[in-house]
Amino acid sequence: MREVKSIGINYDRLSYAFLSPIAGFVIVGAIIKNDYSYINNPKFLILLFFLPITLAFYFFLKSFNVLIVDSFGIEFKYLLLPIKSLKKRWTQINSYATVKIKRRGSRHQIIYSRSELWFIDSNAMLVFKTYKKGRTNLYQLMTIINRSTKRAVIDLDKTDPHSSSIGKQKVTYRHPLT
């Protein structure tokens, strides 16, 4: 079986890359305008200019990714930062789900919605996830994933999910899987 490469763009991180220097310069302007005592420290000013530019560079590098699917498994790596990659075999992935992520505002209205692919292992733990929007070769990618996984869970809805920074995240289904 041949491998399919799908290049994706994470629009959230790309927007962070453009907004972090603007936010940094607004903070610098507010500090200079209010004339705080530590404004005379050149190390502080260098840090204040260096930090937003570093964050913008970091978010820009992590906003472009490649998802490679073949007969052995899935590999997820960053396009501009190929050192870091995540590889999972099909034996580790039991199913996948198309998840609609919704974020609520202060008045409980839906202000943000996106679609993601979640890859789930046999213990209903999230292995990894990726965006569907902004991805090339999505149809070819989905045909290989459908052939390789045991089952597909379609249409999960998550409202205000908390990202798991420590360990794996447990996936809760609407209906029990058989």
The mean predicted confidence, pLDDT, of the chain is 80
Check pLDDT > 90 for residue 5.
Answer: yes
Name the more confident of 31 and 55. 55
Check pLDDT > 60 for residue 109.
Answer: yes
Q: How many CB atoms lie within 10 A of CB 117?
A: 20
Pair type for strands 151-159 and 95-104: parallel
**Helix spans in the chain (H):** 11-34, 42-61, 138-148
Residue range 30-46: mean pLDDT, rounded: 73
Pick from 55, 47, 64: nearest CA to 20: 55
Check pLDDT > 60 for residue 160.
Answer: no
Tokens of 155: 């249409």
How many Å apart are CA 110 and CA 113, to the nearest integer?
7
Name the more confident of 50 and 165. 50
Domain ranges of the chain: 4-9+68-164, 11-62
The conformation of residue 63, written as its DSSP 8-state character, comes to T
